[in-house]
């Protein structure tokens, strides 16, 4: 994607990184991980972690946690048959046991039979049958309610500003002048985790990969999740249309978003892939939003113990998969913290890989 973005008028990947030694180091590490073999190993590691996601979501729902599934199955669609064929080959190469991947290339007629809302440009595609779409706001609210019911206290608007470290352990977390004594600390502050971990002497290689999102109304909303693979747009069904998620803007967490400009490009990209697709309206910028995906240079989350400390951990860097991986990552880090042993599935994500 990085290579193909160069020179495109509407690229899926934008660079807005301030020039610095840290930026150069991040980009070099990123470039080293762009090869096919490392990419596939990374996909396998992510697939191994995500395999538990549907089961854990089903458990939450059966325990009364209210999370609606708005689309079952994700169609990857293409304007060119050859592109779809190549992408299917790649998808099959990284398919893992326990995760149902796409099994066949479908032509336009077969795709329309599954999803009548597809537009004229779509010629071929394939289905990930087990993908599910949720509303991220509802999902997050449900998690908050669940942990509060279990006895946790959340302090919104009270950021952690520092730590007290004594004899190789974090003994207190600072919130301004307040000191909270702690037995264990897990840093899970998204892209801001890098700054917090650095205060504890650990490297995480985290930068922001800003993404943009917009809900649009459609007269006949699709029933399946859609990935418009040529233009890298994800569409989740909503009751009245779709939620679009797109763009990867490499930047620092402090940088201002380019909301109107990016949304305009994003809406143009979707033209022809879904029936009755709208043209861009400046009011879209009032409801569109952007958020920061925490990205590591090797594309994998950083989950595990912080080097040199007996009771500090990190769980961050989930990039484009933080919703999907939230439940399996949470379960794996809970196992590590409670038992002292990291489950095998966490091996590729160890923070120690950034120590050198
Ligand atoms: C447009 C868009 C579309 C996406 N689509 C998908 C998708 O389809 N599927 C998917 O799986 N993922 C998706 N993602 C990615 C997903 O949203 C992220 O991976 C996920 O939010 C990362 O979760 P996190 O908890 O690590 O970080 P965040 O969600 O960024 O949360 C970090 C939290 O830490 C808090 N914090 C920061 N600093 C401190 C501090 N000092 N002290 C205390 N708290 C602090 C922040 O306020 C924030 O609440 C998408 C992201 C975007 C932007």
Give me 304's structure tokens. Answer: 């595990």
Best mutation site among 12, 322, 349 for ligand 1, i.e. most ligand atoms within 8 A of its Cβ?
Answer: 322
Q: Could you tell me which residue, 286 or 94, shows the higher pLDDT?
A: 286
Average pLDDT on 92-112 reads: 83
Of 83-97, 145-159, 180-194, 258-272, the least confident: 83-97
CA of 292 to the centre of ligand 1 (A): 6
pLDDT of residue 254: 78
Per-residue confidence at 310, pLDDT binned at 50, 70, 90?
Answer: very high
Residues whose CB falls within 8 Å of the CB of residue 114, separated by 6 or more in sequence, listed in order: 73, 75, 106, 127, 224
Q: What is the C-alpha separation between 117 and 237, in angstroms, rounded? A: 11
Is the per-residue pLDDT at 277 higher than 50? yes
Q: Could you tell me which residue, 1 or 291, shows the higher pLDDT?
A: 291
Q: How far from the centroid of its chain's Cα atoms is residue 223's Cα?
A: 22
As a whole number, the mean pLDDT across the chain is 92
CA of 159 to the centre of ligand 1 (A): 15
Using a 6 Å cutoff on CB, does residue 192 contact ligand 1? yes
Residue whose Cα lies nearest atom 50 of ligand 1: it is: 320
Average pLDDT on 169-195 reads: 97
Cβ atoms of 103 and 76 within 8 Å: the answer is: no
Is the per-residue pLDDT at 7 higher than 70? no
Q: How far is CA 312 from CA 304, 327, 355, in A?
A: 9, 20, 15
Sign of CA dihedral 133, 56, 102, 318: positive
Q: Could you tell me which residue, 259 or 85, shows the higher pLDDT?
A: 85
Using a 6 Å cutoff on CB, does residue 316 contact ligand 1? yes
Per-residue confidence at 121, pLDDT binned at 50, 70, 90?
Answer: very high
Per-residue confidence at 6, pLDDT binned at 50, 70, 90?
Answer: very low
Average pLDDT on 76-83 reads: 97
CA of 7 to the centre of ligand 1 (A): 30
Using a 6 Å cutoff on CB, does residue 295 contact ligand 1? no
pLDDT of residue 96: 61
Is the per-residue pLDDT at 163 higher than 60? yes
Please give the number of the atom of ligand 1 that sits closest to the Cα of 292. Answer: 53
- For residue 236, with 0-12 CB atoms within 10 Å meaning exposed, 13-18 middle and 19 or more buried, which class applies? buried
CA of 217 to the centre of ligand 1 (A): 25
Residue whose Cα lies nearest atom 35 of ligand 1: it is: 189
26-61: per-residue pLDDT in tens?
A: 999 999 999 989 988 999 899 999 999 999 999 999
pLDDT of residue 101: 83
CA of 317 to the centre of ligand 1 (A): 9
pLDDT of residue 348: 97
Best mutation site among 170, 190, 263 for ligand 1, i.e. most ligand atoms within 8 A of its Cβ?
Answer: 190
Residue whose Cα lies nearest atom 36 of ligand 1: it is: 189
Are β-strands 162-166 and 312-316 bridged in parallel, bridged antiparallel, or unpaired? Answer: unpaired
Using a 6 Å cutoff on CB, does residue 322 contact ligand 1? yes
CA of 110 to the centre of ligand 1 (A): 36
Q: What is the C-alpha separation between 281 and 263, in angstroms, rounded? A: 10
CA of 116 to the centre of ligand 1 (A): 33
Is the per-residue pLDDT at 9 higher than 60? no
CA of 9 to the centre of ligand 1 (A): 28
Average pLDDT on 129-144 reads: 93
Give me 235's structure tokens. Answer: 């569409």
Using a 6 Å cutoff on CB, does residue 245 contact ligand 1? yes
Best mutation site among 134, 187, 192, 325 for ligand 1, i.e. most ligand atoms within 8 A of its Cβ?
Answer: 192
Cβ atoms of 194 and 296 within 8 Å: the answer is: no
324-353: per-residue pLDDT in tens?
A: 999 999 999 999 999 999 999 999 999 999
- For residue 250, with 0-12 CB atoms within 10 Å meaning exposed, 13-18 middle and 19 or more buried, which class applies? buried
Q: Which of 344, 353, 337, 317 lies closest to 51 in space, CA to CA?
A: 344
Rounded percentage of the chain residues whose pLDDT exceeds 90: 79
CA of 253 to the centre of ligand 1 (A): 12
Q: Which of 137, 46, 43, 128 lies closest to 332 in space, CA to CA?
A: 46
């Amino acid at each position: 994607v990085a290579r193909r973005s160069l020179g495109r008028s509407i690229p899926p990947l934008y660079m807005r990184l301030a020039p610095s030694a840290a930026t150069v180091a991040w980009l070099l590490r990123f470039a080293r991980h762009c090869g096919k073999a490392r990419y596939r190993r990374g996909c396998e590691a992510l697939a191994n972690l995500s395999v538990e996601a549907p089961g854990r979501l089903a458990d939450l729902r059966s325990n009364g946690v209210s999370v609606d599934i708005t689309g079952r199955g994700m169609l990857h669609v293409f304007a060119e048959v050859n592109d779809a064929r190549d992408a299917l080959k790649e998808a099959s190469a990284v398919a893992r046991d326990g995760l149902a991947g796409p099994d066949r290339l479908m032509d336009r007629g077969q795709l329309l039979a599954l999803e009548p809302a597809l537009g004229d440009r779509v010629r071929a595609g394939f289905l990930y049958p087990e993908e599910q779409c949720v509303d991220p706001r509802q999902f997050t609210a449900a998690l908050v309610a669940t942990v509060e019911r279990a006895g946790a206290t959340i302090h919104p608007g009270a950021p952690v500003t520092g730590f007290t470290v004594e004899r190789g352990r974090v003994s207190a977390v600072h919130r301004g002048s307040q000191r909270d004594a702690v037995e264990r600390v897990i840093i899970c502050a998204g892209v801001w985790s890098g700054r917090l971990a650095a205060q504890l002497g650990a490297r995480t290689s985290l930068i922001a990969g800003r993404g943009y999102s917009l809900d649009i109304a459609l007269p006949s909303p699709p029933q399946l999740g859609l990935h418009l693979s040529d233009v890298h747009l994800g569409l989740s069904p909503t009751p009245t249309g779709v939620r679009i998620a797109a763009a990867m803007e490499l930047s620092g967490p402090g940088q201002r978003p380019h909301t109107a400009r990016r949304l305009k490009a994003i809406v143009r990209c979707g033209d022809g892939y879904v029936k009755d697709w709208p043209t861009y309206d400046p009011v879209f910028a009032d409801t569109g939003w952007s958020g920061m995906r925490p990205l590591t240079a090797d594309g994998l989350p950083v989950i595990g113990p912080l080097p040199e400390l007996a009771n500090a951990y990190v769980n961050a860097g989930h990039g484009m998969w933080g919703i999907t991986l939230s439940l399996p990552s949470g379960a794996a880090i809970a196992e590590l913290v409670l038992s002292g042993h990291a489950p095998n599935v966490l091996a590729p994500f160890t923070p120690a890989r950034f120590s050198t």
